Amino acid sequence: MKDKASEWVSVSDLMAGVMAVVMLMLVVSVLQNKAAEAASQVQRQLQESARNQDLRDLLADMQRDLLHSGESRLLDIDVQGRRLVLPDDAFARGSACITPATRNLLGRLALRVAEFMRTHPQAQLLVEGHTDSLPVTRPVTDLNRYCTVYDDNYTLSAARAREARKLLIQALDAGQALRVVVAGYGDSRPRPGLAPQDALNRRVEIQLQAAPTSTGL
């Protein structure tokens, strides 16, 4: 009986050793997975930082070119905010038709935007139209004259964004053009610090993203 007890003790010690090895392997595996995840996250952050820097460099170059050519009044460039802003006078009054000077400017910038879209396959452009809160007093139905028909601010803001998009996608292929998205917000998003009825709220913002946001669009 004493020999049997010794055998069971040996087996018990062996099982305990095996369990200890298994637990150690599990701990090592967990630590390795966490280290891999941390390294992957750091790599993603570095890539995102590089993409955003490329975008800021592009916008800074555009801004310098506008100042040099004397066209900065046609388009405001917010380098840190990564957006281009077309003011109200980029369009004919009460219209979605873009003025000839602005059309020419956007046509040139579209080439540089296209190059950025090609070298950054996840890049997106969000073209967003905005108006002030003054209501439309009468429906506009002359498509040829106004480049759209509308009876409220939302429709007009979307039409202006659509016309800007047409110019921006000229140098893109069909797949790349799908990454240029239009939205019309009417008077629902006035500029910070401005009263809703302020005419400075009439604008089209072109938001550039080096990669999709977490919410997606």
Residue 128 lies in a domain: yes
pLDDT score of 215: 42
CATH value at residue 153? 3.30.1330.60
b/e sequence 141-156, b meaning 16+ C-beta within 10 Å: eeeeebbbebeebbbb
Residue 172 within any structural domain of the chain = yes
Residue range(s) defining the domain that contains residue 64 = 39-209
Domain count, the chain: 1
pLDDT at residue 214 is higher than 80: no
Statement: residue 58 has pLDDT above 70 = yes
pLDDT in tens, 185-213: 999 999 999 999 999 999 999 999 887 65
Maximum average pLDDT range among 13-17, 64-68, 78-82, 132-136: 132-136
Encode pLDDT of 89-127 as tens digits: 999 999 999 999 999 999 999 998 899 889 889 899 999
pTM, whole model, 2 decimals?
A: 0.75
Residue 144 lies in a domain: yes
